[in-house]
A and B are shown apart, each in its own frame.
Chain A
Amino acid sequence: MGYKARFKVWRGDKSGGGLEDFSVDVNEGEVVLDIVHRLQATDAPDLAVRWNCKAGKCGSCSAEINGRPRLMCMTRMSTFAEDETITITPMRTFPVIRDLVTDVSYNYEKARMVPAFSPPADLEPGDYRMAQVDVERSQEFRKCIECFLCNDTCHAVRDHEENKTSFSGPRFLMRISELDMHPLDTVDRREVAVQEHGLGYCNITKCCTDVCPEHIKITDNAIIPLKERVADKKYDPIFSIASLFGKTKERARRTPPPGKNA
């Protein structure tokens, strides 16, 4: 049942490093994170790896396995052939700290730039009423475990370090979308999405959706609808004129105060 697998694990820090070879025992039913733990307990006790729940719920053990951004705890060893060499590297979009651990502070800085949820001022706690169909879209996005694999795989920042200042990545465009679809939110974040979070950088190549371990349809359900809503406001004079005469209640939202980049 068990076998020896060949692994290459990137070890090093920001001053440099490289792939190190290991040969490790693998037992039935194991995932890549089990193997990394076995390495820690045997060959490499100081091998740095970030993990918490080991059940795909916390989004800590993000890395790249055979070049693909994945959670180590959700990558079963049975998906590899026994004679296959498995390569594990840290996420390649964020600065490395040590071994498989990266500095993901970019994501926390971007999170802080999204204008927060703003309920109507006169609505008391306990009086919130929302229909299930109205919360479902945002609920899908709130499944996000913030593993940041989508931001890792997005070429707009992965391949272009300089875009990090003006582009927040799929995770936070989705967060804006989530708030925009929240039935009780009162803020219009569409301008912010374009100006501060770089919605226009997204060219819909859908890698974020491909890597999402929660199977959230980031592109189809969050980013494209957000682009369309922005188009309603910015690029669609006909709709804008029509909405002057029609029911504008759907969009009685105010513009948020400027954030850090404004």
Chain B
Amino acid sequence: MTDLERHSYDVVVIGAGGAGLRAAIEARSHGKRTAIVCKSLFGKAHTVMAEGGIAAAMGNVNSKDNWQVHFRDTMRGGKFLNSWRMAELHAKEAPQRVWELETYGALFDRTPEGKISQRNFGGHEYPRLAHVGDRTGLELIRTLQQKIVSLQQEDFHATGDYESHIKVFAECTITRLLTDESGAIAGAYGYFRETGDFVLFESPAVVLATGGIGKSFKVTSNSWEYTGDGHALAMRAGGSTLNMEFIQFHPTGMVWPPSVKGILVTESVRGDGGVLTNSEGTRFMFDYIPDVFKDKYATTPEEGDRWYTDPDNNRRPPELLPRDEVARAINSEVKAGRGTPHGGVYLDVSSRLPAETIRKKLPSMYHQFKELADVDITAVPMEVGPTCHYVMGGVEVEPDTGSAKVPGLFAAGEVSGGMHGSNRLGGNSLSDLLVFGRRAGLGAAEYVESLGESRPQVTDAMVAAAELEALAPFTTEGGENPYTIHSELQESMNDLVGIIRTQAEVEQALERLEGFKARVAHVTVKGGRAFNPGWHLALDLKNMLLVSECVARAALERQESRGGHTREDYPVMSPEWRQVNIVCRADGDGAAIVRQPLVPMREDLLDLFDVDELKKYLTEAELPKGAH
């Protein structure tokens, strides 16, 4: 513990994406000294990859929209497995969170009346996504980043120090949460990438906002940071994750060239008129409308096309079904031999919109294909296929405060679970970040308030143990290169716990995970501690393994197909399974799962749905009284 840097804060936010920054703003505005710890540079978080928009029922484009409609869409999209309370809070508060961004300086695209423009997206009944071209995530992150800077300026004028109340620790990775003997959060331990030096944050409240787990999969739209750190930190600190089997494969990722395979192609391409066709030129999505959505989607291309200009009298085209449906459909088309030369399907906007409009509405897609694939999307179709995009499952939290099952631990954004049920609608992620980022920041501030002077203390023994753990990869000799294990892990998860799952394959995955665990324990890294990516990967690998085990165990347990979990051997959605959450905890050097009943939906919320619709999802006993 020679070179340990110590800091003391009221609230430590781990992760500087949308949820983390929003949480920090809230904690700071409640007077709490707040640290923001980010794995990368400030402003580079994965939120920048979000393209389409922020879903919020402001009703600017279609005045029929309101929170009830948004709530219904969210529940439907998640196949009713969502935490209904989170879905309710989300639908109610999203508009305020978006308007608030404007007060921070965000510049959304506008309607002719000067309001925030809203666009159509899969699963949303009305145009609902506030957006800036197709770079909404960048706008969100930059806006929040600039808001933090403006708070720092206020602090500077008040105290003479920009960092007196809110400080960003960039390129800093947390490896362990520290708890006192009662199990309450006392601090967080980690290292700086730049130097490899260790750092201890003493803090009674930690907000996890670390994002997802996509880097455990081979084809993913996620960046290197998405290694499930928050999920693993929470479980190792005594917390739990839920519904980790639900992983969203975004239907449209790039498939060629190989080096960019998985990079996202925004859903706005379809929202703005793009269509999916197979190698025979058929708009195949019309063959894949599931029964639960039969009456909501167009049955002919003509009707689908009319919807873009006359949404009140026509049904939307099936290209805009929720993401799980579209991803499975593409998967089936490719498997049936109707794929493109590079193993995807065609997504065509070139024959649907004038080149100028495409460049204006989808500038970064135009740019991305032009520069990465040398493809001009205004002239030829894109080739796309499913890519691992988002994990619906996550840390189990209280809906209202974001507090996890560990005192002092909070989670928001992708790392938290429940909000999206078994499948997330596009655009609901950015609004989720804002709504629950704020609530978690508030929850943390209130928790710290409630503690008064008596804060949990960090012990030296814990710090010593955390250091030993972090340095382990340097002390072993003759072990493997972490890159090899990582790429094998990615293959295994992609092939065996991917879009379509079977018992045999998932069991095989679990076997392999056991093997990886043994190998990771002996991983060896070369070089020193300063900015050593091999070392970082060795530490991240442990998190990926724990989280992957949760995913695989839960995927094996759930014997049905729902949203982001498709079992070839149990292809049907089962109302009985809808009543079950699968909860995962750390257990020894691995993970263990238990089933946990879902809280029944509040009566007034249940009343927002047609009984006929509820019958598709709920058991007879759960239906509202008098509906039998």
Contacts and interface: CB of A to CB of B under 8 A. Distances in A.
B525 A130 contact: no
Contacts of B364: 57
Nearest to B96: A125
Given A59-B44, A101-B531, A130 B114 contact: yes
B279 interface: no
Contacts of B609: none
A224 interface: no
Interface in B112-150: 112-115, 117, 132-133, 135, 138-139, 142, 146-147, 149-150
Interface string A142-159: 111110000000000000
B308 interface: no
Contacts of B503: none
Contacts, number: 183
B104 A117 contact: yes
Q: Is the interface of A mostly helix, strand, loop or mixed?
A: loop
Contacts of A257: 157
B107 interface: yes
A254 interface: no
A20 B404 CA distance: 49
A108 B42 contact: yes
B48 A53 contact: yes
A45 B481 contact: yes
Contact of B259 (A27, A115, A116): A27
B153 A112 contact: yes
A45 B533 contact: yes
B95 interface: yes
A23 to B, nearest CB: 19
Contacts of B108: 135
B183 interface: no
Contacts of A145: 48, 138
Nearest to A138: B107
A99 interface: yes
A29 B260 contact: yes
B225 A46 contact: no
Interface string B219-259: 00001110000000000000000000000000000001111
A57 B138 contact: yes
Given A46-B527, A98-B531, A130-B107, A52 B263 contact: no
Contacts of B487: 41
B110 A131 contact: yes
B372 interface: yes
A119 B281 CA distance: 51
A249 interface: no
Contacts of A144: 142
A132 interface: yes
B44 A58 contact: yes
Contacts of B105: 116-117, 119, 179, 182, 185
A13 B60 CA distance: 53
A10 B259 CA distance: 23
Interface string A79-100: 0000000000000000001110
Contacts of B100: 125
Given A112-B152, A182-B105, A40 B260 contact: no
A46 B44 CA distance: 22
Contacts of A52: 40, 44, 46, 223-225
Contacts of A185: 105
A214 B371 CA distance: 11
Interface string A15-57: 0000000000001111100100000110001111111111111
B103 interface: yes
A107 to B, nearest CB: 9
A142 to B, nearest CB: 6
Interface string B342-381: 0000000000000000000001100110011110000000
A129 B371 CA distance: 36
Contacts of B482: 45
Given A52-B44, A112-B153, A34 B530 contact: no
Interface string B477-507: 0000111100100000000000000000000
Nearest to B111: A132
Nearest to A214: B367
B572 interface: no
A48 to B, nearest CB: 4
A47 B533 contact: yes
A30 B597 CA distance: 48
B372 A46 contact: no
A136 B173 CA distance: 38
A245 interface: no
Nearest to B110: A132
Interface string B89-113: 0000001100110111101111011
Interface residues of A, number: 65
Interface in A100-147: 101, 103-104, 108, 111-112, 115-117, 119, 123, 125-126, 128-132, 135, 138-139, 142-146
B66 interface: no
A29 B257 contact: yes
A202 interface: no
* B46, B103, B156 — most chain A CB neighbours (10 Å): B103
B171 to A, nearest CB: 8
Contact of B257 (A30, A97, A116): A30
B528 interface: yes
Given A45-B483, A54-B260, A129-B115, A112 B162 contact: yes
Interface string B23-63: 00000000000000000111110101100000000000000
Contacts of A97: 194, 530-531
B512 interface: no
Interface in B516-559: 525-528, 530-535
A60 interface: yes
B483 to A, nearest CB: 4
A260 interface: yes
B46 A31 contact: no
A129 B108 CA distance: 11
A45 B107 contact: no
Interface of A: 13, 27-31, 34, 40-41, 45-60, 74, 76, 78, 97-99, 101, 103-104, 108, 111-112, 115-117, 119, 123, 125-126, 128-132, 135, 138-139, 142-146, 179, 182, 185, 214-215, 257, 259-260
Interface of B: 40-44, 46, 48-49, 95-96, 99-100, 102-105, 107-110, 112-115, 117, 132-133, 135, 138-139, 142, 146-147, 149-150, 152-153, 156-157, 162, 194, 223-225, 256-260, 263-264, 363-364, 367-368, 371-374, 481-484, 487, 525-528, 530-535
7 contacts: A40-B483, A48-B531, A55-B372, A60-B41, A76-B372, A130-B114, A138-B107
Given A29-B373, A60-B40, A129-B114, 20 more contacts: A13-B530, A34-B259, A41-B487, A45-B483, A46-B532, A46-B535, A49-B533, A50-B40, A51-B224, A56-B371, A97-B194, A98-B531, A116-B146, A119-B103, A130-B114, A132-B117, A139-B132, A139-B133, A182-B107, A185-B105
